[in-house]
Amino acid sequence: MDRNEALQILKKHLPEKRYIHTLGVLETALDLARVYGCDEKKTELAAIFHDYAKYRPEEEMRNIIIQEHFPEDLLHYHSELWHAPAGAYLVKKELGIDDKDIFQAIYYHTTGRPGMTLIEKIIFIADYIEPGRQFPGVDEVRALAKKNLDDAILQASRNTIAFLMKKNAPIYPDTFHTYNHFLMKKE
Ligand code: DGI
Ligand code: FE
Ligand code: FE
Ligand code: FE
C-alpha cells in the first residue's frame, strides 16, 4: 500500500484534528527512521495507522480485546488505552496489513514496553514529539530523540506517569514497566 492510498483510507476514520496529528507523526517517524536506520516503508504504514482505532466505539474495542485474548486487565483501565491494541488488530483484519513489526508498533504505541523494537520506539516517540504536540517537557524529549531514543523514551514515560499521577489517574502496568526498563538499562 503506498502512502497516498494509506492516507486516503485513514482520512475516513479520523476527524481533521487527529488526521493532522497523524501527518505530524508520519513526518517525525520518517525522520527518526532515517537517523536510526529503520525500514522506512514499515515505519510509514505504522505511523499512518497508529491511531486507526481512536474513534471506534468502546464496545467494539472491548469486544476485540476479549475475542483476541489481549490482556483483559486493559478493561479495568481507561478506555484511552484500548485504541492501541484494537488498532493493531483492525489494521490487520480490515486493511490486510499483516506484518508483525507494524502490528507491534501500533499495539504498544501508548504504553511502550520493555524490550521495544526500533520501529516500536520510533512510533512511540514520534507520537509524543510530533510538531503539533505542545505540553511541558516536550522540547526536552525532542532534543533527546535526536541523540538517543532510549533516553527520549525514559523521559517521555516519566512525564506521562507524572502527568497521570497529578490527575489521580490509574497507571497501566506496562507504562511503569517501560519506565523501569529504560531507567535500569542506563545504570
Ligand atoms: O492517541 P494519542 O492521543 O495520539 O496518544 P497516545 O496513544 O499515546 O494516548 C495518550 C493518552 O493515553 C494520554 O491521554 C495519556 C493516556 N495514557 C497513557 N498511558 C496511560 C494512559 N492512561 C492511563 N490511564 N494509564 C496509562 O498507563
Ligand atoms: Fe494513540
Ligand atoms: Fe503516545
Ligand atoms: Fe497518536
Q: Domain range spanning residue 127?
A: 3-135
* Ligand 1 residue neighbourhood (C-beta within 6 Å): 21, 51, 54, 77-78, 80-81, 84, 109-111, 127, 160, 164, 169-172, 175
In a domain, 118, yes or no: yes
- Tell me which of 48, 50, 73, 81 to substitute to probe ligand 1's pocket, judged by most ligand atoms within 8 Å of the beta carbon: 81
ipTM of the complex: 0.92
Of 108, 121, 112, 107, nearest in space to 160 by CA: 112
Question: Mean pLDDT in runs of 10 for the chain (187 residues)?
Answer: 97 97 98 98 98 98 98 97 98 98 98 98 98 95 98 98 97 98 89
Tell me if 121 is assigned to some domain.
Answer: yes
Domain assignment present for 81: yes
- What are the CA-CA distances from residue 42 to residues 19, 122, 133 (Å)? 19, 11, 23
Residue 124 C-alpha to ligand 3 middle, in angstroms? 5
- Which pLDDT value is given to residue 186? 77
Asked whether residue 156 is domain-assigned, the answer is: no
Residue 83 in any domain: the answer is yes
Q: Which residues contact 116 (CB under 8 A, 6 or more apart)?
A: 108, 124, 153, 178
Q: What is the CATH number of the domain that holds 79?
A: 1.10.3210.10
Number of domains in the chain: 1
Whether 78 maps to a domain, the answer reads yes
